[in-house]
Structures are given as C-alpha cells and as structure tokens.
C-alpha cells in the first residue's frame, strides 16, 4: 500500500471510523511509514478532543418555551402561523436602515463642522475687511467732530456720560491704536504731524492696544491748559481730548 492509497482510503473514513481503525491495510502501512503513522496519530488526537466537546454538549437541547411556542403555532395551522422567514427577511432591511441612519449621523456631524468652519471663516474675513474701514473713519481729525461734546466743564471726567457706549464700540481697536500712537512716548517714526500734536498727560497709564479710547472735542478753560503746560489767559480753547474707556484723559491736542 502506497502513501497515496493510504491517504485516499483514510479520507473515505469518518474521524470516528479512523480513530477506531481496524483496517489491517491502514494499520499495516502506518506501522511501516512514519509520516502516515504521525498523520493517523494526529487524527486520533483530534477525534479524542472532539469527543470531549461532543460529550459536553450531548445533553444540550432547546428549552420548554420553544416547544410551547411551536405547539401554539402548530395549533394555529400552517396558513395562520407566523412565517419565521418573514422576520428574517425584514431583518437585513432593518440592519441596512440602521446603518443608513448611522452613516447619516456621521454625515450630519461632518456637515455641521463644515458649516461651522465656513461661517467662522466668513465672519473672520468680514471683520478683517470692515475693521480698516472703521479705522479710517475713526481717525481723530476726520470723524471726531461728530462726537464733539458741547459741554464747557473744566473736568474732562465729566465728559464720559456724553459719550455713548455704542459710539465707543464703533471706534474700537484701530481707533485705540491711532489714539495710542498719538502719545509721544509711544509714537512711531511714521506718525503723522497731526497725531504728533497730542500731548500726553502725566500720571496716566499709557493706552494699550486692547483698551478703548474716545477722542472728544471740547472747549477747555485756560486753567486746564495751564495744567498741561499751556499758556493761561481768559480765552476758551477748543481741544481734542483722548479719553480712555475708564474715563481718564490720556492726551490733549489744542485745535485753536
């Protein structure tokens, strides 16, 4: 018996038949061929381990609920009993639907992120476009006459209630920058001659870029001018006053 014949004969037997092999030809060949003997031993080992599983599950059976349910269905008759394949036929569709909604949820989240990013970019671009325009209109010399205060009080702090919050907000960052640039200690070489006319007041914090400032044109008594180093006389002076958001005057420019 050749190894090929041995293999052909052995595979025609089930695992159990092979493990209990009484076939003299198979046993004779396995006795003389180490390779086939090892294979036969391997099959016997496999049969033995299968036997443990078979023994362990030998007593397993469906519960009594299954029998009761089937008997109920049997009593209803073949035409009225619920067809089991119907339930299975619909299940894949339900699975497909749930997967569709799952994918839909991911798509919705992704779309929300994209829309959010788009709106954010749009808002940022709009702000970056409008701010230079605001800064141009907020130049002290050009736009400030519209917020000129007509009060003639000597204390600059009294001007704060006359300046509305909305007008302050409109004149925000770039205006602050231009106002702060007008301060002598923060002046840059490219500063215009008009900004250079502002005189910084002492004992005041310099304007930071994040703070707000408002330029108010007002009439100042000569006593106030004298306080800032000007010449004292009886004439009222018109001046542009840089007022910080905290109401403290930071710089003054005499107009007339």
Q: Is 32 in the site for other proteins (CB under 8 A)?
A: no
Q: Is 4 in the site for other proteins (CB under 8 A)?
A: no
Least Å distance, CB 36 to other proteins, is 14
Nearer to other proteins, 92 or 189 (CB): 92
Least Å distance, CB 110 to other proteins, is 24
Q: Is 37 in the site for other proteins (CB under 8 A)?
A: no
Residue that has been written with the tokens 């215009």 in this structure: 192
> Using CA atoms, how far apart are residues 98 and 104, in angstroms rounded to an integer?
9
In the list 2, 25, 27, 71, the residue contacting other proteins (rule: CB under 8 A) is: 71
Nearer to other proteins, 12 or 190 (CB): 12
Longest dimension (CA), the chain: 140
Nearer to other proteins, 2 or 49 (CB): 49
| Binding-residue total with other proteins (CB under 8 A) | 44
Scanning 77-85, 154-162, 163-171, 184-192 for contacts with other proteins by CB under 8 A, the matching segment is 77-85
Scanning 41-49, 114-122, 160-168, 229-237 for contacts with other proteins by CB under 8 A, the matching segment is 41-49
Q: What is the 3-state secondary structure (H, E, C) of the chain?
A: CCHHHHHHHHHCCCHHHHHCCCCHHHHHHHHHCHHHHHHHHHHHHHHHHHHHHHHHCCCCCCCHHHHHHHHHHHHHCCCCCCCHHHHHHHHHHHHHHHHHHHHHHHHHHHHHHHHHHHHHHHHHHHHHHHHHHHHHHCCHHHHHHHHCCCCCCCCHHHHHHHCCHHHHHHCCHHHHHHHHHCCHHHCCCCCCCCHHHCEECCCCCCCCCCCCEEEEEEEECHHHHHHCCCCCCCCCEEEEEEEECCCCEEEEEECC
Nearer to other proteins, 83 or 127 (CB): 83
Scanning 75-83, 106-114, 221-229, 231-239 for contacts with other proteins by CB under 8 A, the matching segment is 75-83
Nearer to other proteins, 41 or 122 (CB): 41
In the list 3, 27, 95, 111, the residue contacting other proteins (rule: CB under 8 A) is: 95
Least Å distance, CB 104 to other proteins, is 19
Which spans of this chain sit near other proteins (rule: CB under 8 A)? 11-12, 14-16, 42-58, 60-63, 66-67, 69-71, 73-75, 78, 81-85, 88, 91-92, 95
């Amino acid at each position: 018996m050749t190894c090929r014949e041995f293999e052909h004969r052995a595979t025609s037997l089930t695992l159990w038949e092979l493990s209990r092999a009484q076939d003299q030809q198979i046993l004779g060949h396995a006795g003389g061929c180490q390779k086939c003997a090892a294979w036969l031993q391997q099959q016997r080992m496999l049969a033995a381990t299968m036997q443990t599983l078979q023994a362990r599950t030998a007593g397993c059976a469906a519960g009594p609920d299954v029998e009761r349910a089937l008997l109920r269905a049997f009593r209803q008759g073949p035409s009225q009993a619920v067809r089991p394949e119907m339930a299975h036929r619909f299940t894949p569709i339900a699975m497909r639907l749930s997967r569709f909604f799952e994918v839909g949820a991911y798509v919705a989240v992704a779309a929300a992120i994209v829309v959010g990013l788009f709106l954010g970019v749009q808002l940022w671009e709009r702000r970056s476009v409008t701010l230079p325009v605001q800064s141009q209109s907020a130049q002290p010399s050009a736009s400030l006459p519209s917020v000129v205060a007509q009060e003639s009080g000597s204390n600059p702090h009294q001007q704060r209630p006359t300046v509305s919050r909305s007008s302050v907000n409109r004149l925000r960052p770039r205006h602050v920058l231009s106002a702060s640039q007008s301060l002598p200690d923060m002046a840059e070489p490219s500063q215009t001659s008009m900004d250079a006319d502002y005189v910084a007041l002492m004992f005041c914090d310099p304007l930071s870029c994040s703070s707000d400032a408002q330029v108010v044109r007002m009439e100042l008594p000569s006593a106030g001018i004298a306080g800032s180093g000007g010449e004292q006389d009886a004439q009222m002076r018109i001046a542009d006053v840089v007022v910080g958001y905290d109401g403290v005057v930071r710089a003054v420019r005499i107009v007339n």
